[in-house]
Structure 1
Amino acid sequence: MTDRQGEQAASKVVERIRAVQWDGDWSDVFGKAMSRRLLMREYLRRSALWSQTYFAESAWPFFDVTEYMDPESMLPPNTANELEDLLRTRMNGSVKVTCRGAVRLAQLRSSDPTIEGTGLPDLYEPLIRLYERGGEFMEDNAGAIDLTGVSFRPGSLQGNASNTPIVALNNAVLDALDVEGRVTFYASDDRRGPVFRRLFPQEGGQHEEVFSGRLGWQPTIRLSAMEADGDCVRIYDQDAARIIEEALHGAPGAADQE
């Protein structure tokens, strides 16, 4: 790897940050609350792993990991200036720190091949995708994370570090999870596919649907029948994401997997 490759990698992240709709329509952001919550939880998991590896536990969860990896590393002047111009917008502090960290880590990992040997998943990719799906997040005085439409506490570093991967970084999976209105997911009692959902749209009523791979969500009457027979259980959204990913695996056009 070369410094030039590092500069190119950093510039790509800057352009992704520049393209984010930081002041998007509230209803659009609200409709992506589920995928954004899962992406944030996946970031918290990865952040815990990186903080343990680089002795940055005190800075968890929102920090610039390159300050612990290589404090002497610097972005090329042009890239640094572009980034700081972007960060002068009204982003909150944690968003600015993680955007800066994402750019610097991209540059460092592409410039130094030994960094790739850590075996850790890309730290900031879940957050960048979260930003791309609805802009920034907020933190309240009690430590909760507000993603517009959903708020939750991050939990402990140790608890997040011990989690299995939360959600695939696959836009087809993320899109399939998002819907306006209240939703509950179901699967067979062994928690295998297919995945069903009961949707309560904001305008009222309810719909029962099954996820059918490339066909997406389709109306079904099977859910009510399975409930009546005791053949299905309610599942968490991360379980639904796993089953949806399995349904899409290998489907043309669905390959956006990290």
Structure 2
Amino acid sequence: MIDERGEQAASEVLERLCAVEWIGDWSEVFGKAMSRRLLMREHLRRAALWSQKHSAESAWPFFDITEYIDPEFELSPSLSCKLEELVRGQPSGVKATCRGAVHLAELREQNPAMVPHDLPDLYEPLIRLYERGGEFITDNCGAVDLTGVSFRTGSLQGNAYNTQVVPLNDAVLDALDAEGRVTFYASGDDRGVVFRRLLPQGGGQRDEVFSATLGWQPTTQLSTSEVDIECIQIYDQDAARLIEHAVLGSAPR
């Protein structure tokens, strides 16, 4: 599976959105809270870049970018009817971004020169978020609720200056998720090895190391106190880069 899908036709984007289970099983969605949170943060970053490019700062972070690229753009009637049926009753942020994803794909197909090629695909992180657990909602205080995790979006400028939050690779996203509380660690010897300490909801503790071929495997390296081991605690965003390095065999960024 390729990481970016920016060249998809509008009908393909709409088909993916129609296949989403918008209100899924709570426990299953909660188990994907980390990847969904990182995907949302990646959307916030990309949306900041696109909004700056097209003077859409006031609409950030959940908007239909085609309204700013080409205000006269219209979706074909057949796709428009199916799209509006899909978004009926959805939260406002979901509604705007689903429309934007389909509209941008159609605009790119109709007039490629109007769509910038120097920016990462705007809506792919959100589409993947939807595919991994359905909708999100926002409150009046600027917080985003992803079912099991809630956080504030921060400022447009702060998100625009951020680096890539998470690679859009299913193997990496799957490796980030777990049921329970997770803390990530990296080896202190520059080998790029990533570990995690997992505290399942039912109690207990598991220490694991990631392998591209075997996934998460039990380890004893984290079984002693943190003072005695040659590992440092890292953020989940850094863990995503190390997992990407293991999965794709590329140098960590």
The normalised TM-score by structure 2 is: 0.92
Is this contact kept in 1: 2:165–2:237, CA < 8 A?
yes
Distance 2:113 2:228 in 1: 56
Report matched runs for 1:99-178 at 5 Å: 99-178=98-177
Q: Does 1:71 align with 2:66?
A: no
By how many angstroms is 1:223 displaced?
A: 2.0
Structure 2: where are the runs of 5+ without partners?
A: 1-7
* 1:223 matched to 2:222: yes
The letter for the 1-side match of 2:54 is Y
2:209: which partner in 1? 210
Contact 1:48 1:60 in 2 (8 A): yes
The 10-residue stretch of structure 1 (117-126 or 238-247) with the greater mean CA deviation from structure 2: 117-126
Q: Which runs of 5+ in 1 are unaligned?
A: 1-7, 252-258
Q: Does the 8 Å contact 1:191/1:235 carry over to 2?
A: no
Contact 2:187 2:232 in 1 (8 A): yes
Q: Give the structure 2 partner of residue 254 of structure 1.
A: none
Q: Alpha carbons of 1:115 and 1:190: their partners in 2 closer, same or farther (altered >3 Å)?
A: farther
Partner residue, 2:239: 240
Deviations 1:128-170 (A, max 9, x none): 0000000010112211101011110000000000000000000
- Superimposed CA distance per residue, residues 188-213 of structure 1 (whole angstroms, 9 cap, x where no aligned partner): 23675210000001111000000011
Q: Name the amino acid aligned to 1:162.
A: Y
Shift, 1:13, TM fit: 0.8
Distance 1:48 1:191, change over 3 A: farther
For 2:133 and 2:112, the matched residues in 1 are separated by: 33
Residue 40 of structure 1 aligns with which residue? 40
Greater helix fraction, Structure 1 or Structure 2: 1
Query: Is the CA contact (8 Å cut-off) linking 1:192 and 1:243 kept in structure 2?
Result: no
1:116/1:241 Cα in 2 relative to 1: closer, same or farther (>3 Å)? Answer: same
Question: CA–CA distance in 1 between the matches of 2:138 and 2:116?
Answer: 33
CA RMSD of aligned residues (A): 1.6
Task: Report the residue type matching 2:185 in the other structure.
Answer: Y
Letter in 2 for 1:86: L
AA paired with 1:77? P
**CA separation in 2, counterparts of 1:52 and 1:191?**
37
State the Cα deviation string for residues 34-68 of structure 1 (Å, max 9, x = none). 00000000000000000000000011111100000
The Cα shift of 1:114 comes to 1.3
Contact 1:226–1:232 (CA<8 Å) still a contact in 2? no
Distance 1:55 1:192 in 2: 43
Structure 2 SS opposite 1:35:
helix
Letter of the structure 2 residue corresponding to residue 74 of structure 1:
E
- Match of 2:9, SS? helix
Find the residue that maps to 1:209 and give its secondary structure.
Answer: strand
Question: CA, structure 1 residues 206+127, in 2 after alignment: closer, same or farther (shift >3 Å)?
Answer: same
CA deviation vs aligned residue, 1:206-236 (integer Å, no higher than 9, x gap)? 0000001121000000123583435211100
Q: 1:76 to 1:95 in 2, by over 3 A?
A: same
The whole-number CA distance in structure 2 between the counterparts of 1:224 and 1:165 is 32
The Cα shift of 1:15 comes to 0.6
Q: List 4+ stretches of structure 1 deviating above 4 A.
A: none
Q: 2:188 & 2:114 partners in 1: Cα distance?
A: 43
Q: How many residues are aligned here?
A: 243
Distance 1:191 1:24, change over 3 A: farther
Q: Is the 8 A contact 2:189 2:230 kept in 1?
A: no
Separation in 2, partners of 1:132, 1:15: 12
Distance, in Å, in 1 between the alignment partners of 2:225 and 2:159 is: 34
**Superposition TM-score, scaled by structure 1 size:** 0.90
Contact 2:62 2:97 in 1 (8 A): yes
For structure 1, which segment, 129-138 or 183-192, has the greater mean C-alpha deviation from structure 2 after superposition? Answer: 183-192
